[in-house]
């Protein structure tokens, strides 16, 4: 077997462009438009499913559709109807999907088993039943299960324009219903109890969400396949979650990411016939997800790591300045312990050197230059820092705030809980004068040397 | 001799797989991590495909290693996405295993056709293809001529028994009270990693015989059925083993011996039937549990819940 054309091949890229601009023939174009609509709808429905923590419920529903497809085929053949008729098969799938949801609900409610076990039991047992039925169809004289196998992994290559239109219509229905029910479903997802209190029919809404999940899944099983169709419900909303905290934006972004994955994935699969569409679409969505996880501005991994490093740096420099101040004023009531200050000081030293290197201003004094023109420390040797006047003043304030906070937290432990996250330099802004006076006199009574306010 | 040739190897393979999976599955069900088995079994596909592509052979050792590595990647990625993305565990799992599975589906296209492995076979296994041509006078030594899959499964089964026996106390404590276990120095994180590795090994060894979706039934159904019938861990494990054996044997015969009675020469997919039968056992256990617990006004208190 030849490996598929590598994507760097220029003809592949020009072919991809032809497909992406919808000029690759009627069949391919209908399929791409249908899958894009599917992505759009599943992004919207999936967002509510994600917020309602129903992600893996949809997995069991999708798996339960395999016996539904097989039963519909057998019933159609027995009734003398064309067994490969897509609407018939999808109807069977929808009924089976709802039965699967019912089965999960029953296991969860009537036994002591947890939800995870209910999902696992439902998806494996129903899928097993489906495999048995497929093997029966395969070996029975009436016909072959060849077409039915495509529902497992999905196949766009064999899709007719009529199939794609049906898929698009189902997806569009789910999309419109999802948008119409937006306010109710959002409330359900965030606070079901509150929704119930203000008179929303919570059980009906949960059922409606379930019906929307079934609708999107049914629409998707032919193109994407039973096993991977839930990826469209899970991945785009989860990726959108990194970019925003607002549910309306998350739903919109989820829809865009879903549509983009469907569009790109279907195009790639149209060009590489060995790549099932489901896999191509899911890998596209997965790539978008991991890019979001790394790069999203506030919640992405890089941003989170940078923020954590900045906090550590701030705390370290604060400690260093405070300890430099203590050393400078020979305050022996709280002698700085070497092992405690060694790390922050080394850290600050490093930072000061970096700032010095990048700073255009230098006093040119043979290795004895200010960290910054208005800086707080001078690097006096490879291992020593000397505080400047500004640095000493800042260190004094840090020392003062630190002592006041400590005293405050110890004295007013019952109310201090809400204030513990504030940066130490804000003590004067947060506590009122009476409390500060009280803390000052308490500290003085114990003989602690408290620097005066700035 | 047809029983020995056609049926013994599949029966042994199914039984060993069911027992090994059920043994691990007890802890997955108790820890509310049943779906980790689901995720691992999906993610095994790229691991196996990668091992095939790298070694260009069907040797069991690289395959086991590749799949176990994929299983651990799944566990790690799920935790990472959960903590970074602040999404619920189910969604994190869903993202991980669908992406990995899709990767596996694409990778499998690169495997030369000479090696008989396709996506369908990965999904529902190939139990019936296990044949044994025993020598004329059968001794204990001739068991060595059984198909390789049976040997792999027997090995994994022994490993599973050894692990759960040696770490019985640790597994029990970390499953029921991870906080206490941690305070006592039992390292719940390490135990969890070992358990996941074991689950990956059981899944990998079994998937070849029964396929990657139906292995989920073997992992979850017998322990879940046993869980409904008892509150004692030891009893639950023994019960789950009995149910696993009954499921494997019953399912295999229901697929191969029952249909020919109605339609000549008809046999059904054995792995699928085993999963179906395991569902029947869960149903039966649920009914028994309801009848048994009926007189009490309150439902039986659930197991001490493992905290998250």
Q: What is the DSSP string of chain B?
A: -HIIIIIIHHHHHHHHHHHHHHHHHHHHHHTT-HHHHHHHHHHHHHHHHHHHHHH-S--HHHHHHHHHHHHHHHHHHHHHHHHHH---HHHHHHHHHHHHHHHHHHHHTTS-TTS---HHHHHH--GGG------SS--GGGGGGS-HHHHHHHHHHHHHHHHHHHTHHHHHHHHH-HHHHHHTT--HHHHHHHHHHHHHHHHHHHHHHH-TTHHHHHHHHHHHHHHHH-S-HHHHHHHHHHHHHHHHHHHHHHHHTSHHHHSTT----HHHHHHHHHHHHHHHHHHHHHHHHTTSSSPPPPPPPPP-
Which has more pLDDT, A382 or A233?
A233
Tokens encoding A373:
């023109």
Which has more pLDDT, A107 or B299?
A107
CB contact under 8 A, A128 and B274: yes
Nearest CA to A55 among B88, B100, B99, B32? B88
Nearest CA to A12 among A255, A257, A270, A213? A270
- Provide the chain B residues 82-111 that lie in CB contact (below 8 A) with chain A: 84-88, 90-95, 98-99, 101-103, 105-106, 109-110
| Chain A residue with the nearest C-alpha to that of B96 | A286
- Provide the chain B residues 255-294 that lie in CB contact (below 8 A) with chain A: 255, 259, 263, 266-269, 271-276, 278-279, 282, 286, 289-290
What pLDDT sits at residue A101?
93
Residues of B in contact with A135 (CB under 8 A): 267-269, 272
| pLDDT tens profile A119-130 | 999 999 999 999
CB contact under 8 A, A238 and B87: yes
Q: What are residue A141's phi and psi, to 5 degrees?
A: -65, -25
Nearest CA to A173 among A211, A224, A124, A117? A211
| pLDDT tens profile A195-232 | 888 888 888 888 899 999 999 999 988 888 888 889 99
CB contact under 8 A, A131 and B109: no
| pLDDT tens profile B190-242 | 888 888 888 888 888 887 777 777 789 999 999 999 999 998 999 999 999 99
String of b and e for A103-134 (b: at least 16 CB within 10 Å)?
Answer: bbbebbeebbbbbbbbbbbbbbbbbbbbbbbb
The answer to whether residues A268 and A279 touch, using CB atoms and an 8 Å cutoff, is no
CB contact under 8 A, A134 and B269: yes
The answer to whether residues B244 and B20 touch, using CB atoms and an 8 Å cutoff, is no
Q: What is the interface size between A and B, counted as CB pairs within 8 Å?
A: 220
Which has more pLDDT, A259 or A355?
A259
B297 pLDDT band, cuts 50/70/90, is low
| pLDDT tens profile B110-142 | 776 555 566 666 677 777 777 777 766 676 667
Residues in Cβ contact with B116 at an 8 Å cutoff, skipping those fewer than 6 apart: none
| Chain A residue with the nearest C-alpha to that of B104 | A279
Residues of B in contact with A282 (CB under 8 A): 98-99, 101-102
Choose from B119, B213, B251, B283 for mutation: most chain A CBs within 10 A: B213
Lowest mean pLDDT among A8-12, A49-53, A367-371, B250-254: A367-371
Residues of A in contact with B211 (CB under 8 A): 131
Helix (H) / strand (E) containing A379: strand A377-379
Residue A40, classified by CB atoms within 10 Å of its CB into exposed (0-12), middle (13-18) or buried (19+), is: buried
DSSP string, A326-344: HHHTT-TTSPPPHHHHHHH
What pLDDT sits at residue A345?
61
The answer to whether residues B158 and B166 touch, using CB atoms and an 8 Å cutoff, is no
A304–chain B nearest CA distance, Å = 9
What pLDDT sits at residue A371?
41
What pLDDT sits at residue A374?
46
What pLDDT sits at residue A42?
92
Which has more pLDDT, A404 or A384?
A404
- Provide the chain B residues 168-207 that lie in CB contact (below 8 A) with chain A: none
CB contact under 8 A, B220 and A278: no
Q: What is the mean pLDDT of chain A?
A: 79
The answer to whether residues A65 and A221 touch, using CB atoms and an 8 Å cutoff, is yes
Taking the Cβ of residue B157 and every Cβ of chain A, the question of whether any pair is shorter than 8 Å is answered with no
Q: Which of B34, B112, B255 is the closest to A120 by Cβ?
A: B34
pLDDT at B251 over 50: yes
Q: Which of B34, B106, B266 is the closest to A116 by Cβ?
A: B34
What pLDDT sits at residue A362?
37
What pLDDT sits at residue A146?
62
Which has more pLDDT, B125 or B176?
B176
How many residues are present in chain A? 454
Q: What are residue A370's phi and psi, to 5 degrees?
A: -70, 145
| pLDDT tens profile A251-278 | 999 999 999 999 998 888 888 767 788 8
Instruction: Output the CA angle A27-A33-A35, nearest 5 degrees.
Output: 100
CB contact under 8 A, A234 and B94: yes
CB contact under 8 A, A238 and B85: yes
What pLDDT sits at residue B151?
84
Choose from B53, B84, B98 for mutation: most chain A CBs within 10 A: B98
Which has more pLDDT, A107 or A327?
A107
Domain boundaries, chain B: 2-127+147-293
pLDDT at A12 over 80: no
Lowest mean pLDDT among A361-375, A430-444, B93-107, B195-209: A361-375
Q: How far apart are CA A132 and CA B33, in angstroms?
A: 27
pLDDT at A379 over 80: no
B274–chain A nearest CA distance, Å = 8
What pLDDT sits at residue B245?
95
B184–chain A nearest CA distance, Å = 27
What pLDDT sits at residue A286?
95
Lowest mean pLDDT among A96-100, A366-370, B248-252: A366-370
B23 pLDDT band, cuts 50/70/90, is very high
Which has more pLDDT, B175 or A317?
B175
User: Phi/psi class of residue A451: alpha, beta or left (left: φ > 0; alpha: ψ in -120 to 50)?
Assistant: beta
Q: How far apart are CA A197 and CA A175, in angstroms?
A: 27
CB contact under 8 A, B98 and A235: yes
String of b and e for A193-203 (b: at least 16 CB within 10 Å)?
Answer: eebeeeebebe
The answer to whether residues A420 and A408 touch, using CB atoms and an 8 Å cutoff, is no
The answer to whether residues A281 and A266 touch, using CB atoms and an 8 Å cutoff, is yes
What pLDDT sits at residue B238?
95
What pLDDT sits at residue A255?
95
What pLDDT sits at residue A338?
47
Fold of B2-127+147-293: ABC transporter involved in vitamin B12 uptake, BtuC (1.10.3470)
Q: How far apart are CA A442 and CA A448, in angstroms?
A: 9
Question: What is the ipTM, given to two decimal places?
Answer: 0.87
Nearest CA to B50 among B64, B40, B29? B64
A352–chain B nearest CA distance, Å = 32
Which has more pLDDT, B146 or B233?
B233
A414 pLDDT band, cuts 50/70/90, is low
- Provide the chain B residues 220-259 that lie in CB contact (below 8 A) with chain A: 220-221, 224, 227-228, 255, 259
**DSSP β-bridge partners for residue B205:** none
**Coil, helix or strand for A94?**
helix
**Coil, helix or strand for A377?**
strand
**DSSP β-bridge partners for residue A385:** A379
Residues in Cβ contact with A254 at an 8 Å cutoff, skipping those fewer than 6 apart: A43, A44, A46, A47, A236, A237, A239, A240
- Domains, chain A, in order of start with CATH, read 10-299 (1.10.3470.10), 303-445 (1.10.10)
pLDDT at A404 over 70: yes
pLDDT at A360 over 50: no
B68–chain A nearest CA distance, Å = 21
What pLDDT sits at residue A409?
78
What pLDDT sits at residue A233?
93
A343 pLDDT band, cuts 50/70/90, is low
What pLDDT sits at residue B67?
81
The answer to whether residues B15 and B245 touch, using CB atoms and an 8 Å cutoff, is yes
String of b and e for A221-237 (b: at least 16 CB within 10 Å)?
Answer: bbbbbbbbbbbbbbbbb
Q: Which of A4, A117, A131 is the closest to B271 by Cβ?
A: A131
pLDDT at B95 over 60: yes
Max distance between CA atoms of chain B, in angstroms, equals 63
Tokens encoding B19:
């027992």
Sign of the C-alpha dihedral, residues B164, B169, B170, B175?
Answer: positive
């Amino acid at each position: 077997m030849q490996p598929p054309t590598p994507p760097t091949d220029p003809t592949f890229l020009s072919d991809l462009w032809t497909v992406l601009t919808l000029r690759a023939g009627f069949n391919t174009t209908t399929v791409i438009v249908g899958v894009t609509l599917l992505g759009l709808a599943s992004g919207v429905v999936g967002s509510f499913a994600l917020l309602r923590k129903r992600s893996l419920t949809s997995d069991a529903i999708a798996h339960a559709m395999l016996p539904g497809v097989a039963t519909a085929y057998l019933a159609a053949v027995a009734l003398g109807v064309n067994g490969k008729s897509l609407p018939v098969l999808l109807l069977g799938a929808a009924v089976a999907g709802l039965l699967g949801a019912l089965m999960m609900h029953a296991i969860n409610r009537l036994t002591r088993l947890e939800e995870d076990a209910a999902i696992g039991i439902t998806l494996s047992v129903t899928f097993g039943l489906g495999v048995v039925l497929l093997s029966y169809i395969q070996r029975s004289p009436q016909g072959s299960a060849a077409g039915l196998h495509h529902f497992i992994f999905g196949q766009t290559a064999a899709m007719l324009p009529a199939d794609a239109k049906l898929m698009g219509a189902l997806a569009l229905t789910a999309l419109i219903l999802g948008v119409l029910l937006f306010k109710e479903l959002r409330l359900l997802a965030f606070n079901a109890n509150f929704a119930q209190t203000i008179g929303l029919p919570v059980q009906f809404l949960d059922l409606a969400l379930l019906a929307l999940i079934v609708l999107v899944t049914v629409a998707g099983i032919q193109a994407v396949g039973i096993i991977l169709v839930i990826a469209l419900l899970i991945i785009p909303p989860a990726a959108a979650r990194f970019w925003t905290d607002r549910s309306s934006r998350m739903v919109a972004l989820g829809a865009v990411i879903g549509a983009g994955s469907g569009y790109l994935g279907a195009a790639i699969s149209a060009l590489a016939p060995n790549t099932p569409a489901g896999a191509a679409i899911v890998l596209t969505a997965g790539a978008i997800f991991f890019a979001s996880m790394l790069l999203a501005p506030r919640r992405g991994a890089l941003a989170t790591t940078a923020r954590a490093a900045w906090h550590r740096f701030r705390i370290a420099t604060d400690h260093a300045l405070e300890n430099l101040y203590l050393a400078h004023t020979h305050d022996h009531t709280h002698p700085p312990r070497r092992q405690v200050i060694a790390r922050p000081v080394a850290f600050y030293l490093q930072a000061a050197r970096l700032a010095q290197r990048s700073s255009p201003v230098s006093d040119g004094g043979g290795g004895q230059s200010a960290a910054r023109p208005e800086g707080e420390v001078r690097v006096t040797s490879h291992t020593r820092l000397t505080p400047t006047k500004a640095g000493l003043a800042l260190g004094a304030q840090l020392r003062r705030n630190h002592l006041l906070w400590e005293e405050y937290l110890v004295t007013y432990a019952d109310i201090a809980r809400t204030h513990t996250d504030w940066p130490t330099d804000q003590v004067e802004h947060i506590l009122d004068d009476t409390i500060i006076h009280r803390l000052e006199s308490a500290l003085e009574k114990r003989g602690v040397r408290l620097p005066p306010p700035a | 001799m047809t029983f020995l040739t056609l049926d013994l190897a599949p029966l042994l393979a199914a039984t060993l797989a069911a027992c090994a999976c059920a043994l691990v599955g007890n802890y997955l069900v108790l820890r509310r991590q049943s779906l980790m088995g689901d995720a691992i079994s999906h993610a095994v596909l790229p691991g196996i495909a990668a091992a095939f592509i790298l070694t260009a052979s069907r040797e069991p050792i690289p395959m086991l290693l590749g799949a176990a590595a994929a299983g651990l990647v799944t566990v790690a990625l799920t935790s990472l996405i959960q903590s970074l993305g602040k999404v619920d565990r189910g969604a994190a799992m869903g993202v991980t295993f669908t992406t990995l599975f899709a990767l596996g589906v694409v990778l499998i296209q690169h495997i030369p056709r000479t090696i008989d492995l396709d996506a369908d076979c990965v999904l529902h296994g190939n139990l019936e293809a296990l044949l044994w041509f025993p020598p004329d006078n059968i001794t204990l030594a001739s068991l060595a001529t059984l198909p390789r899959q049976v040997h792999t499964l027997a090995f994994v089964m022994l490993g599973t028994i050894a692990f759960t026996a040696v770490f019985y106390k640790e597994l029990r404590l970390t499953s029921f009270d991870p906080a206490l276990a941690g305070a006592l120095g039992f390292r719940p994180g390490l135990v969890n990693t070992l358990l996941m590795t074991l689950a990956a090994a059981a899944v990998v060894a079994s998937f070849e015989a029964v396929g990657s979706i139906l292995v989920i039934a073997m992992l979850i159904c017998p322990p879940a059925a046993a869980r409904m019938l008892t509150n004692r861990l030891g009893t639950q494990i023994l019960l789950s083993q009995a149910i696993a054996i009954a499921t494997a044997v019953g399912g295999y015969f229901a697929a191969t011996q029952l249909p020919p009675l109605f339609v000549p020469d008809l046999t059904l997919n054995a792995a699928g039937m085993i999963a179906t039968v395991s569902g029947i056992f869960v149903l039966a256990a649920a009914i028994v549990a309801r009848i048994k617990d009926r007189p009490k006004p309150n439902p039986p208190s659930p197991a001490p819940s493992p905290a998250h």
